[in-house]
Amino acid sequence: MKKLVGGLLLFGAFAFSSAQTITFEKTTLDYGTVKANSDGNRVFTFTNTGDKPLIISNVQPGCGCTASDWTKEPILPGKKGEIKVHYNTATVAPFKKTIDVFSNDPANGRVVLYIQGTVVAQ
């Protein structure tokens, strides 16, 4: 009986430890100082470091001045995906914006990414 209970507990620990896991190379992208109306496109790269397919369900920029696109198909274990962000560099000012990433990662279902920099006049 003790072996049966011990086996079930061990099986349960393995069942909970295997999952999809999102791991970003960077969670902050610094544009540095850029000129007004310059290229505002940047890319966040992530890897599924788990052992089940990772699905990004939504990417929500924190304001209307930022747009995004992301890998829509499931990311298999060990594979990489991308989240492309675009910041509108028309406004001359420093900026720090957030992008919320929602996935099926049980430990990190919501990850906050940041873009920052300063836009200067031409």
Residue type at 115 in one-letter notation: I
The answer to whether residue 8 scores a pLDDT higher than 50 is: no
Tokens of 66: 């930022």
Tokens of 9: 């507990």
Query: pTM of the prediction?
Result: 0.83
The answer to whether residue 9 scores a pLDDT higher than 50 is: no
Tokens of 118: 């300063």
Tens-digit pLDDT profile for residues 87-114: 999 999 999 999 999 999 999 999 999 9
Residue type at 104 in one-letter notation: N
Scanning 1-122, the segments in alpha helix (DSSP H) are 2-17
CB 38 within 8 A of CB 63: no
